[in-house]
Structure 1
Amino acid sequence: MTSQRPLASGARLRITCDTCNLSKLCIPRGLNQGEVELLERIVRRNRTLDKGTALYRSGEWHHGILALKSGTVKLATLDRQGNEYVVDFLLPGDLLGFDGFASQRHSCSAIALETVSYCELPAHQIDLLTREIPGLLPVLMQHSGTQFDLGIQRLILSRRPAEERLAAFLAHLSERYRQRGFSAVEFRLSMTRQEIGNYLGLAPETVSRLFSQFEESRLIEVRGKLIHVLDMPRLLAFCPS
């Protein structure tokens, strides 16, 4: 929800939603100026957590809606046997916390995959704000609906061949980075091969083999965690229609 811009020497830094380069993806995108200013008085800014730290854990009381400013977060849940299932990967500009709306307890854990910073709209303020800011509820519903639609797409993708799953995963990440003003053809994967495999329903060995196969086919170039897409049209051709 927030960002920073340089100020003159001696001036006090004031961080606002207006100056955030992610506002077009975040809550302010659907609000007018007056509503954004009211929201800014409530939002808790500049929260920072280290890699491996939980923003919240499954079973905890609903924290509220969190807006990721930097870094990557893994949303995951456990079955009764303690097996982890990766539900989603969140990038800067994404909102999380919707998994706590239904029961007022989070059904997933949100884990930082690298150092992250975020803003928080506290749960106890949401009801009040939706009454004072008419545009807020539709915005939250739109974000929640988008996540539901993506869940359906992931379910469909899980029935596709392994090559299509990984190609679609990389193509989707590419588009998400492009929307955020980053390079669409060169980006860093903060998640492990095991986490990618868990998310896609593939064995880690299969993910590693497919990365090697894509690299040998000159679709991508892999340098550690850095992915360079060499042939986007061919990569997209692998994706399910």
Structure 2
Amino acid sequence: MPPLKSQENQYFVSNNAYPPSIAHLIQGLNKKSQALFTLRKKIILTKQNSPFKGLYIPLSGILKQTHQLKAGDELLTHFFLPGDIIGLDAMGEESYFGTVTAIETSCLLHIPFIHIEDLSISRTIHIQLLNCLSRAIHNEHKKAWQMNNHPPDIRLASFLINISLHFRNRGFSPHCFRLGMSRNEIAQYLGMASETLSRLISRFKQEGVLSVISHVFCILNTESLAAIAEQRRRR
């Protein structure tokens, strides 16, 4: 992972992306980061169960986290988009929960854990906040697995809405966005066959809900997409 030429970090994580109680902490992480570095496509950032060495924030590109079960099955538990924090779910166990791999060439910040202790809040408070956020991220992985209990159309609609909110919270368009992951990776994350995902995308396009050209997804009817996702509350 060769670092890029050192430069002042002007990256900013939107306050809207996290609860107000920890927004100051997240902003502080950016000030404690080291030089930017690039991770090429298919290169591993962290390996499952490897010792925790710090946090990472992607500035561009997309990464995925997979978790190998004892039975040999592999779960795709998370996609990391620009502005996400990688490694929060590793702090409690002091080892990385899964293997994180670059889906496409990505630019990241590295925040060694020792630097987080230099933040201008008490050590007790910021460790508690990080542990709280770590638990929240870990619970998010569990919720992704639980999505298998819902019909495929609800899973896809919920996924697209969550991606839309992610981009909106970071100041980008919530309606049109590029997703570098493959259809197979999205299907694996949502717990469905690739053929099922393709059929659903075709259905959403025919219903005027979604437009997809290569890796660019455009939500054409937010209300209709939300109505599909909201079915889970009525079933």
Give the TM-score taking structure 1 as reference length: 0.80
Give the secondary structure class of the aligned counterpart of 2:177: strand
TM alignment of 1:1-241, pairs within 5 A: 15-16=8-9, 19-24=10-15, 25=17, 29-31=23-25, 36=28, 40=31, 42-80=32-70, 82-126=72-116, 128-129=117-118, 133-134=122-123, 135-239=125-229, 240-241=232-233
Percent identity between the two aligned chains: 28
Give the secondary structure class of the aligned counterpart of 1:85: strand
Aligned pair in 2 of structure 1 residues 14, 101: CA closer, same or farther (>3 Å)? closer
Whether the 8 Å CA contact 2:89–2:134 is kept in 1: the answer is no
**How many Å separate the matches in 2 of 1:48 and 1:31?**
24
Q: What is the one-letter code of the residue matched to 1:202?
A: M
**How many Å separate the matches in 2 of 1:229 and 1:104?**
39
Q: What is the one-letter code of the residue matched to 1:15?
A: E
Which has the higher Rg, Structure 1 or Structure 2? Answer: 1
**How many Å separate the matches in 2 of 1:84 and 1:194?**
14
**How many Å separate the matches in 2 of 1:194 and 1:72?**
15
Stretch moving more, 151-160 or 47-56: 151-160
Q: Deviations over 1:19-45 (max 9, x none)?
A: 423253479832499xx4x973x4213
Please, what is the CA RMSD of the aligned residues? 2.8
Task: Return the offset for 1:14.
Answer: 5.2
Task: Return the offset for 1:140.
Answer: 1.6
Task: Return the offset for 1:61.
Answer: 1.7
Aligned pair in 2 of structure 1 residues 119, 23: CA closer, same or farther (>3 Å)? farther
**How many Å separate the matches in 1 of 2:70 and 2:132?**
32
Task: Return the offset for 1:79.
Answer: 2.5
Give the secondary structure class of the aligned counterpart of 1:158: helix
**How many Å separate the matches in 2 of 1:32 and 1:59?**
25
**How many Å separate the matches in 2 of 1:83 and 1:200?**
15
Whether the 8 Å CA contact 2:77–2:144 is kept in 1: the answer is no
Whether the 8 Å CA contact 1:73–1:113 is kept in 2: the answer is yes
**Number of corresponding residues:** 222
Unaligned runs of 5+ residues in structure 1 are: 1-12
**How many Å separate the matches in 2 of 1:99 and 1:172?**
19
Q: What is the one-letter code of the residue matched to 1:21?
A: F
Aligned pair in 2 of structure 1 residues 131, 232: CA closer, same or farther (>3 Å)? closer
Stretch moving more, 207-216 or 154-163: 154-163
Aligned pair in 2 of structure 1 residues 60, 152: CA closer, same or farther (>3 Å)? closer
Unaligned runs of 5+ residues in structure 2 are: 1-5
